[in-house]
Chains A and B, each alone.
Chain A
Amino acid sequence: MNSAAESRIARAVAVPVILIGVWYAWTTLHPTPRTPTPGRVAAAAVDMIASGDLPLGVLQSVGRVFGGFALAAAIAIPLGLAMGTRRAIERNVDPLVESFRPIAAIAILPLAILWLGTGTAAAVTIVAYAAFFPIVINTVAGVKRVDSTLLRAAATMGVDRLTILRTVIVPGALPSIGVGLRIALGVAWTAIIAAELAVGAKAGGGGSGGVGQMMFVFYAYSIELNRIVVCMIAVGLVALLLDRMLRALNAWLMPWTH
Chain B
Amino acid sequence: MDALIAPKLKLDRVGKRFALKPGEAVAAVEDFSLDVRQGEFLVIVGPSGCGKTTVLNLLAGLELPTSGSLSIDTHPITGPGADRGVMFQDYALFPWRTVVGNIEYGLVYGPAGRNLSAAQRQARVRHYVDLVGLRGSEQKYPHQLSGGMRQRVALARLMANEPEVLLMDEPLAALDAQTRLILQDELLRIWGQDRPAHERRTVVFITHAIDEAVFLADRVAVMTSHPGKLKALLDVPLPRPRSDRTRGDSQFQALAQHIWSLIRDEAYRATVA
Contact = CB atoms under 8 A, between A and B. Distances in A.
Given A168-B94, A256-B95, A158 B88 contact: no
B112 A149 contact: no
Interface in B66-92: 79-82, 84-86, 88, 90, 92
Contacts of B81: 156, 158
A153 B92 contact: yes
A158 B158 CA distance: 12
B96 A163 contact: no
Contacts of B95: 256
B213 to A, nearest CB: 23
Contact of B110 (A152, A158, A174): A158
Contact of A158 (B96, B106, B142): B106
Interface in A158-179: 158-159, 163, 167-168, 171-172, 174
Contacts of B110: 154, 157-159
A155 interface: yes
B22 to A, nearest CB: 18
A154 B105 contact: yes
Nearest to B89: A149
B73 to A, nearest CB: 16
Instruction: Determine which residue in A152, A153, A167, A254 has the highest number of CB atoms from chain B within 10 A of its CB, and name it.
Output: A153
B215 to A, nearest CB: 26
A158 B62 CA distance: 12
A4 to B, nearest CB: 27
Nearest to A254: B96
Given A152-B62, A255-B141, A159 B106 contact: yes
A56 B97 CA distance: 43
A98 B109 CA distance: 37
Interface in A35-85: none
Contacts, number: 65
B96 A172 contact: yes
Contact of A153 (B79, B86, B96): B86
A139 B82 CA distance: 30
B143 interface: yes
A147 interface: yes
A111 interface: no
Contacts of A255: 141
A165 to B, nearest CB: 11
A156 B80 contact: yes
A256 B112 contact: no
Contacts of B142: 256
Contact of B92 (A147, A167, A254): A147
A152 B4 CA distance: 35
Contacts of A156: 60-62, 80-82, 84-86
Contact of A157 (B61, B79, B96, B112): B112
Contacts of A157: 82, 85, 105-106, 109-110, 112, 161
A250 to B, nearest CB: 13
17 contacts: A149-B88, A150-B92, A152-B60, A152-B88, A152-B92, A153-B94, A154-B109, A155-B79, A155-B80, A156-B81, A156-B84, A156-B85, A157-B82, A158-B110, A158-B111, A167-B105, A171-B94
Interface of A: 147, 149-150, 152-159, 163, 167-168, 171-172, 174, 254-256
Given A152-B62, A171-B96, A172-B96, 16 more contacts: A149-B92, A152-B60, A154-B110, A156-B60, A156-B62, A156-B82, A157-B82, A157-B105, A157-B110, A157-B161, A158-B81, A158-B106, A159-B110, A167-B105, A256-B97, A256-B142
Report the 10 A-B pairs with minimum CB-CB distance, sorted nearest first: A158-B82, A157-B106, A153-B92, A157-B110, A158-B110, A156-B86, A155-B80, A171-B96, A149-B92, A256-B141
